[in-house]
Amino acid sequence: ISYQEFFRTLNRKEAMSVGGAEDDIPQGERKIVTDFCYLLDKSKQLFNGLRDLPQYGQKQWQSYFGRTFDVYTKLWKFQQQHRQVLDNRYGLKRWQIGEIASKIGQLYYHYYLRTSESSYLNEAFSFYSAIRQRSYYSQVNKEDRPELVVKKLRYYARFIVVCLLLNKMDVVKELVKELSDEIEDYTRRFNTEDQLEWNLVLQEVSTFIDADPLMILNDANDIEITSNRLGEGGSPPLEHGMIVGQLILADALIIGNCNNQVKFSELTVDMFRMLQTLEREPTALAPQLSKPGLQDPTEKSTKRENPHKYLLYKPTFSQLYSFLSTSFKELPANSVLLVYLSATGVLPTGRSEYEGPYDFGGVLTNSNRDVLNGDAVHKRSQSYKEMHCLHPGDLYPFTRKPLFIIVDSSNSIAYKNFGNLFGQPLVCLISPTTYPKALQDQSQRGSLFTLFLYNPLMAFLFICGLSSMRKGLWDKCQEYLRRINRDIAQLLTHSRTVEDQAFLQFFGDEFLRLLITRFIFCSSTLRLHKNFRETGNYPETYPQLPKEEIVENPHLQRHILELASMMDVQNYFQENNIDDY
């Protein structure tokens, strides 16, 4: 109801309770309640309007977010300053305060999604954490209103997402336990249709937590949580004499549609890992309840901390192309667009006389299909291609600007048949299409290829059958891996046989440099691993990197075997082809 209607109701209740007239309420208190109701009504209107904003594009939404933050700033401060009057005259309840704080947390989270600045996750965490610490929702279960309990459950789900993104796994486990108890109480008290849905939410987050294949143990045998965002010294440094380009990664589309892969809140494990790979560690908190991103341009840094990211879970082809087109249109000068595809492969149906960019299949970004009868489906599969399959040719228009592609799929090899029509920097990192039998059963917990790009040491241990490691050895191996990355960077920048200069043009950006060096480490490691040598299926690139000088370089291979020796897992690797080891 509107604040005017609510206030009329309030006056009537007050008159009945005290046996007086509506005018008995002091004018000052009347104005406080009126102003509060107005701010509450306005905040809800603006918050609901966020749903109508376009999800893509950088310019349309900032002013609207600014107005919304401004109103919530006033609302939050107003309820703090006039709490006693609002308690007495409005009947303000603690869960209503919690609802306001929850929406502010949502605002900060959605602002993080729009800007990719992880400092706003800290702000969302602050408000969500305050709700829990101050028990704003504690009285909800005493009221016979299932919709209020659902608000509480949704708060828990949103809080868990933020904690996952901040790697606060200890808090996540506490929240999951509390959410489980709340769901059990909710299903026992109310016979509602969404019971299975909430149990599925609980199952998804529990599985998501267990997706990491390795535990790092400290001296007390407690599990240590490590961050995989780009930190100080995370990317191999550019040393004197390295000649690289000046391109900057500006936009990234992270697309996920893998069959049966663990997910939570429309975020698959692979998407979650790539999301963190493309972010720096947050170093400062965002401004407290102000208008983030709308400060005086002269006071803002000219360099964005993180590339802007779009998270697309099972997008249709039209949705994906809209996001691609907008990113391409708004890409600044000397900037790079990254497209990450983690999706089920679509194999070619047959060979034609001329094999073009649409004849090798691609990856399926959405599994929805037109509802047809059996005969029509059969005819369609013979004469038509998948509507939501992204073929290499679909990306050709976007090669007019620098483009960096990562394909993690069972048909990633389709993207080996690419073509650089416009002469702009273009690189495609291609996953293996099959894995050894011993590793295939783990695909639900995320792809091995993406795991190498996200946390190469964890992936290295995984293919060696290790599920835990002492913290001291982990730190020692991480330091050695940084040395390997530095050597890989030198190999690439000093090479005289890398024919295509795109790798070096991308090497000036910290994130792209990290992805390229981790890819080369992954490719070289799998070429030495006995199980992968049996399958003969390795990561590849377009354009190709020289094998002998880069991915099969004896110096690099000796490093990898030394890393295996440090962990006492050298029996997993083949040494025969390395001279003088």
Q: Is the separation of the CB atoms in 408 and 449 below 8 Å?
A: yes
543 cis-preceded (ω within 30 degrees of 0): yes
What is the residue whose two structure tokens read 């009945």? 16
What is the predicted pLDDT for the residue at 417? 79
Judging by beta carbons within 10 Å of its beta carbon (0-12, 13-18, 19+), is residue 576 exposed, middle or buried? exposed
If we measure between CA atoms, which residue out of 136, 142, 154, 131 comes closest to residue 185? 142
In 10 A of CB 560, how many CB atoms? 21
Distance CA 563, CA 566 (A): 5
DSSP string for residues in 531-565 = HHHHHT---EEESPPPIIIIIT-HHHHHHHHHHHH
Judging by beta carbons within 10 Å of its beta carbon (0-12, 13-18, 19+), is residue 529 exposed, middle or buried? buried
If we measure between CA atoms, which residue out of 308, 180, 329 comes closest to residue 249? 308
Distance CA 487, CA 544 (A): 20
As given in the structure block, the two tokens for residue 356 are 């073009």
DSSP string for residues in 460-488 = HHHHTT--EEEHHHHHHHHHHHHHHHHHH
Distance CA 264, CA 269 (A): 8
Distance CA 128, CA 159 (A): 6
Architecture of domain 249-278+306-368+384-572: 3-Layer(aba) Sandwich (3.40)
If we measure between CA atoms, which residue out of 315, 291, 368 comes closest to residue 111? 291
Distance CA 517, CA 504 (A): 12
The bridge status of strand 540-542 relative to strand 223-224 is: unpaired
The pTM of this model reads: 0.89
What is the predicted pLDDT for the residue at 207? 92
Q: What is the CA radius of gyration of the chain?
A: 27
As given in the structure block, the two tokens for residue 115 are 């800007």
If we measure between CA atoms, which residue out of 138, 126, 176, 140 comes closest to residue 156? 176
In the chain, which residues fall in CATH 3.40.50?
249-278+306-368+384-572
The bridge status of strand 335-346 relative to strand 362-364 is: antiparallel
DSSP string for residues in 74-108 = HHHHHHHHTHHHIIIII---HHHHHHHHHHHHHHH
Distant-in-sequence, close-in-space partners of 414: CB < 8 Å, separation ≥ 6: 345, 348, 360, 361, 362, 363, 391, 392, 407
What are the per-10-residue average pLDDT scores of the chain (581 residues)? 50 41 70 92 94 76 89 94 88 92 95 90 94 93 88 96 93 95 91 87 92 83 82 75 86 93 92 95 55 37 75 95 94 96 87 72 80 38 72 94 97 89 95 87 86 95 92 94 94 82 92 96 96 90 90 95 95 70 38
What is the predicted pLDDT for the residue at 5? 53
Distant-in-sequence, close-in-space partners of 334: CB < 8 Å, separation ≥ 6: 246, 247, 248
What is the predicted pLDDT for the residue at 18? 37
